[in-house]
Amino acid sequence: MSAASDKPVVTRFAPSPTGYLHIGGGRTALFNWLYARGRQGTFLLRIEDTDRERSTPEATDAILRGLTWLGLDWDGEVVSQFARKDRHAEVAREMLERGAAYKCFSTQEEIEGFREAARAEGRSTLFRSPWRDADPASHPDAPFVIRMKAPRSGETVIEDEVQGTVRFQNETLDDMVVLRSDGTPTYMLAVVVDDHDMGVTHVIRGDDHLNNAARQTMVYEAMGWEVPVWAHIPLIHGPDGKKLSKRHGALGVEEYQAMGYPAAGMRNYLARLGWSHGDDEFFTSEQAMGWFDLDGIGRSPARLDFKKLESVCGQHIAVMEDAELMREIAAYLAAARKPALTDLQAERLEKGLYALKDRAKTFPELLEKARFALESRPISADDAAAKSLDPVSRGILRELTPMLQAASWSKQDLEAILTAFAGEKGMGFGKLAAPLRTALAGRTVTPSVYDMMLVIGRDETIARLEDAAAA
Ligand code: GLU
């Protein structure tokens, strides 16, 4: 393990703002956040916006919104990589001074010519610049790029916390460009300079960057900087084991919010995608912070499993505080572009949460079960529910109403009244409950009739029974 591991932990998430926050990016951010938060460390956010053509402010906003929804708070200001371009150029010049880089005047045509000749002769097509060892006195007054003077023999070894020891033969790597002829830095240089300047001790990112780690290590070494601890995590695959793509379903973190998954459930599920702590499937973020370690990250790609996601989310909804649930439901409705709750709806919903939250895996499911609390009179019934309203059951509702007028409106009292009433009529309670569910919620599957009555109160209950009896 590198010496960087002895210092206070600093991790970062470094997305390129070219679209939305991908689910894989969300997981990378989560791993970095958990690792830092569990160690009193620092978690930084850097937007890698050096590619001016592909980077957009809208994409940056979408990334920040996605992270905020997931509850992954970063420390300090968001760093813009592009804003640091002068610093990157300064380091490129310093590499020149140290003899770790050189000015290369080869034109695009010359490079192409080199490659063609190499191909024809069956040699490696890696570009070998004639300027690598040229005497500066021979330099023309022409545009140039700055190239890293990469070692040509030996190997570069990455000690990766997930992938183990990974060796790269230096002869397979060319002298990469660190500064373009227009003075802009390349991505490979910018990442290293930024990670170094930001004091990043642990680079946890997708294993699609493993090859970059070799080249980046060369820059660290050329500058005499301490190499961070590497942890390249396998990418997420679809349920079929293939590389994750749109046909597997939602890819953007915000789409999951719009589908009504709670953020705590999403964090829990994403943590389990590629990382494990014994057999624990359901846990809080605080627990995950305490447990999360690079040792627990698997080497093979994790598969997205919507069933598991739903099951974990259902367990989180069941234990969420009412106020937090109300906040998240409001945010879900906004994300899904659905109308916000009115004050009365919110008041009834909050009152009814105790009877709703242990049965819903997502917010839309919870809201469907909460129909009795959200609809206003007259309550419309679906076909199945409408079936339980016939002349006989309407008569029964009419008879029941005056008895409810006198009830004390406690659960015990309502239970006693309804059970006695059903007994008197010689009907099972289920038979009585069916038209009550229709009257109160317009559905056959609802919370218990007592809970519905308690939540909406006496006047509303009686009015709904009267509506149904008269219909
Ligand atoms: N900007 C890179 C990406 O979005 C990440 C680079 C890194 O983490 O080092 O894939």
**pLDDT (tens digit, 9 = 90+) per residue, 309-320?**
999 999 999 999
- Could you tell me the distance, in angstroms and rounded to a whole number, from the CA of residue 75 to the centre of ligand 1? 18
Catalytic member of 149, 246, 308, 351: 246
For ligand 1, whether the C-beta of 15 sits within 6 Å is yes
Look up 243 and say whether it is catalytic.
no
Strands across the sheet with 79-80, in order?
A: 10-13, 42-47, 79-80
- The 10s digit of each residue's pLDDT in 340-351 is 999 999 999 999
Whose C-alpha lies nearest to ligand 1, atom 7?
Answer: 14
Residue 234 has pLDDT above 80, yes or no: yes
Pick the residue whose CA is nearest to atom 4 on ligand 1: 15
Tokens read off for 81: 């990589």
Q: Does 383-470 carry CATH code 1.10.10.350?
A: yes
| Per-residue pLDDT at 121 | 95
Tell me the pLDDT tens digit for each residue of 77-101: 999 999 999 999 999 999 999 999 9
Q: Ligand 1 pocket check: which of 48, 67, 194 to mutate, most ligand atoms within 8 Å of Cβ?
A: 48
Query: How much is the mean pLDDT over the chain?
Result: 96
Residue 297 pLDDT grade (very low, low, confident, very high; cuts 50, 70, 90): very high
Q: Is the CB of 48 under 6 A from ligand 1?
A: yes
Which ranges constitute the DSSP H helices of 71-136? Answer: 85-97, 108-120
Q: Using a 6 Å cutoff on CB, does residue 191 contact ligand 1?
A: yes
Which of 60, 162, 191, 227 has most ligand 1 atoms within 8 Å of its beta carbon, as the pocket-test mutant? 191
Query: What confidence score (pLDDT) does residue 81 get?
Result: 98
Whole-number pLDDT of residue 249: 85
- 471 pLDDT more than 90: no
Q: What is the reported pLDDT for 3?
A: 47
Q: Sorting pLDDT into bands at 50, 70 and 90, what band is 4?
A: low
246 is in an annotated binding site: yes
Residue 405 has what pLDDT?
93
- What is the Rg, in whole angstroms, of the alpha carbon atoms belonging to the chain? 31
Ligand 1 atom nearest to 48, measured from its CA: 1
Please, are residues 214 and 173 in contact by the beta-carbon 8 Å criterion? yes
C-alpha pair distances (Å), 43 with each of 34, 205, 242, 255, 411: 9, 13, 31, 24, 50
User: For residue 291, how far is its CA from the centre of ligand 1 (angstroms)?
Assistant: 25
Nearest ligand 1 atom to alpha carbon 212: 9
Q: Is the CB–ligand 1 distance for residue 209 below 6 Å?
A: yes
pLDDT for res 1: 42
Q: What digits encode the pLDDT tens for the residues 239-256?
A: 999 999 889 888 999 999
At 359 the pLDDT is 87
Ligand 1 atom closest to the Cα of residue 195 is: 9
Q: Could you report the per-residue pLDDT of 34-87, keeping only the tens digit for each?
A: 999 999 999 999 999 999 999 999 999 999 999 999 999 999 999 999 999 999
Location of structure tokens 């409106």: 409
Between the alpha carbon of residue 210 and those of residues 46, 52, 161, 319, the distances in Å are: 19, 24, 12, 39
Q: Is 14 in the pocket of ligand 1 (CB under 6 A)?
A: yes
Atom of ligand 1 nearest to the CA of 205: 8
DSSP-derived secondary structure for 304-362: --HHHHHHHHHHHHHHS-HHHHHHHHHHHHHHTT-PPPPHHHHHHHHHHHHHHTTS-SS
Residue 15 Cα to ligand 1 midpoint, Å, equals: 5
Residue 5 has pLDDT above 60, yes or no: no
Alpha-carbon separation of residue 104 from 73, 133, 289, 439 (angstroms): 43, 10, 48, 82
* pLDDT beyond 60 at 263: yes
Taking residues 145-159, what's their average pLDDT?
Answer: 97
Q: How far is the CA of 77 from the centre of ligand 1 (A)?
A: 18
Residue 441 near residue 380 (C-beta atoms within 8 A): no
Does ligand 1 have an atom closer than 6 angstroms to the CB of 211? no
Adjacent-strand bridge partners of 103: 146
Please compute the mean of the pLDDT values over residues 273-290 and round it to a whole number: 97
Give per-residue pLDDT as tens, 115-130.
999 999 999 999 999 9
**d(CA 290, ligand 1 centre) in Å:** 26
Range 361-384 average pLDDT: 97
Interval between CA 435 and ligand 1 midpoint (Å): 59
